[in-house]
Chains A and B, each alone.
Chain A
């Protein structure tokens, strides 16, 4: 399978806990994105990497969110001290310059 892989598919966590998600992009793609989507809404931009450099981060993101892409390969998104409002589908996507995105299947986070 040469698509975008995300792990885990589902995560249930208690409020206040930290969670980390992983994304493995398509290997030839140098761009990687994280988006968040809630029911009835379109995906909302979180952050963007070109190779290993994090070039853009949403102002909507609080300091509780951090993302990394070491060596320009896979990426992780960490949410610290989760809140109920963090419950959403977290989508990773990758692309080549100028192309549209290929999304992974997402990680569905439920904070209880």
Chain B
């Protein structure tokens, strides 16, 4: 079993739709959580950190459920430009030191 698991998708949604991705992690001692976005043949870019209280950045909302060991990302009012692969990332330190473990990503395609 992988340390970080994501539904690979693809998720195909129309513009304006709301879409949610989940990610589960196996190490209960994990302390830092992030979502990254990766466009085709580009490097990953940090989308947002995930805090225990949940956090929102515009159309994007991230949630953490420590008891069930999963992280979610909600995208509202999808745009064509949201089409990308979304990577879930987990680290065992609250300082995000050392190795971070990436999921294999969930692919989103937003269609007109």
Whole-angstrom distance from the CB of B34 to the nearest CB of chain A? 5
B102 within 8 A of A: yes
Contacts of B101 in A (CB 8 A): 45
Question: Do the beta carbons of A45 and B100 come within 8 Å of each other?
Answer: yes
Main secondary structure of the interface of B (DSSP, over half): strand
Contacts of B36 in A (CB 8 A): 100-101
Q: How many pairs of A and B residues are in contact by the CB < 8 Å rule?
A: 56
Contacts of A99 in B (CB 8 A): 96
A43 within 8 A of B: yes
A75 within 8 A of B: no
Residue-wise, chain A 2-34 has the 8 Å CB interface mask toward B (1 for contact) of 000000000000000000000000000001010
A103 within 8 A of B: yes
B104 within 8 A of A: yes
Q: List B71-112 residues whose CB lies under 8 Å from chain A.
A: 87, 89, 94-105
Contacts of A84 in B (CB 8 A): none
Whole-angstrom distance from the CB of A40 to the nearest CB of chain B? 7
Question: Do the beta carbons of B105 and A42 come within 8 Å of each other?
Answer: yes
Contacts of B95 in A (CB 8 A): 97-98
The distance in angstroms between the C-alpha atoms of A48 and B46, with both chains bound, is: 18
Question: Do the beta carbons of A100 and B49 come within 8 Å of each other?
Answer: yes
With A40-B104, A42-B105, A43-B102 as contacts: A102 and B46 at CB distance below 8 Å: yes
Residue-wise, chain B 11-40 has the 8 Å CB interface mask toward A (1 for contact) of 000000000000000000000101010000
Contacts of A41 in B (CB 8 A): 104
B42 within 8 A of A: yes
Whole-angstrom distance from the CB of B71 to the nearest CB of chain A? 14
Question: Do the beta carbons of B94 and A42 come within 8 Å of each other?
Answer: no
**Which residues of B does A touch, CB under 8 Å?**
4, 32, 34, 36, 42-46, 49, 87, 89, 94-105
